[in-house]
Amino acid sequence: MEPKSVTRLQPDIQEQKPRRRYVFLMSTPALLGLFMFLVIPFFMAVGMSFTDQRLLSPNETSWVGLRNYDRLLNVSGMVQEPVRDEAGQLVLDGDGQVEYPRLRTLLRSDPAMADYKLFSSWDLGEKRYIVLAKDPHFIQSFINTLLFVLLVVPLQCGLALALALLINRQLRGIFLYRTVFFSPVVTSIVVVSIVWSFLYHKDLGLFNHYLQAMSFGLIGPIDWLGDPAWSMPSIVIMSAWQAAGVQMLIFLAGLQGISPDLYEAADLDGAGPWSKFWHITLPGLRNTVVFVVISTTIQAFGLFTQVDVMTQGGPQGSTSTVMYHAVTKGFREQDIAYGSAISVIFFLVILGIALFQKRLFDSKGDK
Amino acid sequence: MSVKHLKTLGWYLFLTGIGYVFLFPLLFMLVSSLKPEQAIFADLYSIRAILPVGELSLDNYRQVFEKSNVSLYFWNSLFITVGTVIMGLFVNSLLAFTLSRMSWRGQKLVLAVVIALMIIPLEAIVVPLLLLASKLPSIGWEGGMLVLKSSWLNTLHVQMLPFVANSFFIFLFYQFFRDIPKDFDEAAELDGATPFQIYRHIIVPMSGPVFATVAILHFLLMWNQYIWPIMAVQGEDARPLMPGIQIFFGRQSSWGEIMAYASLVTLPVLAVFLMFQKKFVTSLAGAGIKG
């Protein structure tokens, strides 16, 4: 070990310089890439969301302050009284329905309300309650995305856990089943969406065939992708089926981390399978569950491809999502500034979820 | 047969039933691509839907090649994917090497920034990235000569360069390199090896697993790219497979042809998956846990 310490002791200044050059040469390509294509676009998104930037435009870009965000997030409400004649009686329209003042005329007459459009309305008692938004499509897309997340996360995570429990046993050839359950993951979501569009087909599709056969024709054909009530659930089912394989593997790793001694002890106490699942498996998987749920949630918020291939946001906007709206505005309508504002809101939601996850993990560390 | 055997058999039957649900769309796609249109519908409601029976031919594939420029899209996809993965392996592992095995000023900060960047999803930056790409100048090949183009849109490299450096892959490399004992590099350093030689001759040969993991993840990511190419590539010349099949699907082509196209897009990945399936599975699970 003699020579080592000798070399170490030499304050070799000449050696430091080329070393620094190596650090520079070896780290620059990746750092440049991250900077150019991640950091810059990110700050561009923030900056441009306060402008009226367009993809191609002869006009100069100018600052518009919070106008884009106002357009996105501004929601307002109003209550309408029905129309009454001079005697104070309700006026009925041709169909015998109570008549209300025309909303469009009302909004146009008031300059402060001119930017609002109808989002939703319902009649209650002798009043009409109206929700207005400056961009009703965005509000709807946001609600659709939340709906997708709320449906797909439990379904996908539950399915993944069930599959993991299924294949976590000593059976010969079990790896074959693991490969099979996993195979949709390596199939492109574009291809999956196309093949499932066929299975979902109203007249020819397989799902309606089985549904009718199993219900003896009682349940009529469902227009899976064409009915606003079914379109989002249809995308949910397909998405959970396609992606569950990844979470299945993560759960499987979690299951294999639980000590077998616990199960043996439970067996000695005469615990049944349910009790073992509730008292050993689930608590043992706590970290894994938190991680899987959060990462699935983050992924689900970015829903775009399935929608673009299968429904293009329809029918009646029932499958439009935040990302779909961002691409429609920012790219198809070339309103980069508005698309950027949507991207910023999207990022803030993701950041919120990630911080929430961090808090969950941190608080666990304290215990 | 004993009760135990019956129970085992029951498990196999149950697992096979569930496996059927997961495999059906894939098998149906592959099998239907070989059948004439009427046979697809005739076979749909029986087990024949996933069996290659009846009159089989490659007609659908022939039609796909005739109606769509699928071989061009295929080579575009392959070039984009392979090129990006190779550049990515190199570039990302080099940065991870300097972060994990050398010490320099600002290193901790750079590492923290790289980790923080993992939170930004691609979706959050595609819109501004589109504007950026439309403003970057590039050199292109047009009509047998080099020309200066005023934008990166509609090129192959616009689909590659933004995706070479990846903070998540840098992090995977970093974790792996960090855990390799330092004795090796120290000995090599004494022998006068440069950092690059240490990287090349010591770290890389010891890091096969992480290179394979990143290669697989990056391959899947690039091959399945969709949102970016539909925005950045409008013309045919640089179009990859995923937008290609989506356009073909939107044209109301026959289902047999669509299934043939879908099979063409899927088969290369499926082949790679089946060859390295164990590696695939551990990579994706491991990446999930660490991410």
Both tokens of B271, joined, read 């082949």
Pair B34, B129 in one domain: no
Q: Which residue of A has its CA nearest to B15?
A: A177
The Cα A32–Cα A38 span in angstroms is: 10
Pair B142, B92 in one domain: yes
Mean pLDDT of A37-61: 88
Q: Residue B167: its pLDDT value, please?
A: 94
Q: Residue A6: its pLDDT value, please?
A: 44
The Cα A320–Cα A312 span in angstroms is: 7
- Do A356 and A297 touch, CB atoms closer than 8 A? no
Q: Which residues of A55-64 are buried (b: 16+ CB within 10 A; e: fewer)?
A: beeeeeeeeb
User: Hey, are the CB atoms on A186 and B280 less than 8 Å from each other?
Assistant: yes
SS3 state at B100: helix
List, in sequence order, every residue forming a beta bridge with A133; answer none if it has no partner. A75, A117
User: Hey, are the CB atoms on A34 and B167 less than 8 Å from each other?
Assistant: yes
The Cα B23–Cα B45 span in angstroms is: 16
Which one of A182, A192, A295 has the shortest CB-CB distance to B291?
A295
Question: Would you tell me the crossing angle of helices A136-167 and A174-186 to the nearest 10 degrees?
Answer: 160
Domain containing residue B228: CATH number: 1.10.3720.10
Q: Where are the alpha helices (DSSP H) in chain B?
A: 3-32, 37-43, 59-67, 70-101, 107-117, 122-135, 167-178, 183-190, 195-198, 204-206, 208-223, 227-232, 241-250, 255-275, 277-290
- Separation in Å, CA of A257 to nearest CA in chain B: 13
- Separation in Å, CA of A299 to nearest CA in chain B: 9
Mean pLDDT of A147-160: 95
Domain edge (last residue) among B57, B84, B100:
B57
Domain edge (last residue) among B9, B37, B57:
B57
Choose, out of A19, A22, A310, the residue to mutate when testing the contact with B (most B CBs < 10 Å): A22
**CB count in 10 Å sphere of residue B246:** 20
Q: Residue B173: its pLDDT value, please?
A: 94
Domain edge (last residue) among B57, B84, B99:
B57
For residue A15, name the pLDDT band (cuts at 50, 70, 90). Answer: low
- Residue in this structure with the two tokens 């379904």, named with its chain if needed: A155
Q: Which residue has the higher pLDDT, A128 or A143?
A: A143
Pair B123, B182 in one domain: yes
- Whether residue A123 is predicted with pLDDT greater than 90 in this model: the reply is no
- The model's pLDDT over A236-256, given as tens digits with 9 standing for 90+, comes to 999 999 999 989 988 988 898
Give, in order, the Cα–Cα distances in Å from A113 to each of A82, A131, A179, B233. 20, 12, 58, 40
Phi/psi-derived region of residue B53, left when phi > 0, alpha when psi is between -120 and 50, beta in every other case: beta
**CB count in 10 Å sphere of residue B124:** 29
Burial of B105 by CB count in 10 Å (0-12 exposed, 13-18 middle, 19+ buried)?
A: exposed
Q: Residue A4: its pLDDT value, please?
A: 46
Chain B residues touching residue A25 (CB < 8 angstroms): 196
Pair B82, B219 in one domain: yes
Pair B33, B130 in one domain: no
Pair B85, B34 in one domain: no
Q: Which residue has the higher pLDDT, B145 or B28?
A: B28
Pair B77, B46 in one domain: no
Q: Residue B268: its pLDDT value, please?
A: 87
Pair B25, B89 in one domain: no
Mean pLDDT of B195-221: 90
User: Hey, are the CB atoms on A183 and B273 less than 8 Å from each other?
Assistant: yes
Mean pLDDT of A259-263: 88
Pair B223, B81 in one domain: yes
Pair B53, B23 in one domain: yes
For residue B1, name the pLDDT band (cuts at 50, 70, 90). Answer: low
Chain A residues touching residue B281 (CB < 8 angstroms): 178-179, 182, 249
- Separation in Å, CA of B283 to nearest CA in chain A: 10
Q: Residue A1: its pLDDT value, please?
A: 41
Q: Residue A366: its pLDDT value, please?
A: 44
- Whether residue B44 is predicted with pLDDT greater than 60 in this model: the reply is yes
Q: Residue B216: its pLDDT value, please?
A: 87
Phi then psi for residue A96, to 5 deg, are: 80, 10
User: Hey, are the CB atoms on A33 and B130 less than 8 Å from each other?
Assistant: no
Pair B94, B145 in one domain: yes
Q: How many domains does chain B have?
A: 2
Q: Residue B275: its pLDDT value, please?
A: 84
- Whether residue A97 is predicted with pLDDT greater than 50 in this model: the reply is yes
Cβ-based contacts under 8 A for chains A and B: 257
The Cα B206–Cα A366 span in angstroms is: 37
Phi then psi for residue B77, to 5 deg, are: -60, -45
- The model's pLDDT over B121-175, given as tens digits with 9 standing for 90+, comes to 888 899 999 999 988 887 777 677 777 777 888 888 899 999 999 999 999 999 9
Which one of B14, B21, B227 has the shortest CB-CB distance to A304?
B227
Q: Residue B288: its pLDDT value, please?
A: 59
Domains of chain A: 2-46 (no CATH), 75-133 (no CATH), 137-366 (1.10.3720.10)
- The model's pLDDT over B80-112, given as tens digits with 9 standing for 90+, comes to 999 999 999 999 999 999 999 888 888 999 999
Range(s) of the domain holding residue B26: 1-57
Which one of A25, A177, A189 has the shortest CB-CB distance to B224?
A189
Chain A residues touching residue B269 (CB < 8 angstroms): 186-188
Pair B211, B197 in one domain: yes
- The model's pLDDT over A288-344, given as tens digits with 9 standing for 90+, comes to 888 889 889 989 999 999 999 999 987 888 999 999 999 999 899 889 999 999 999
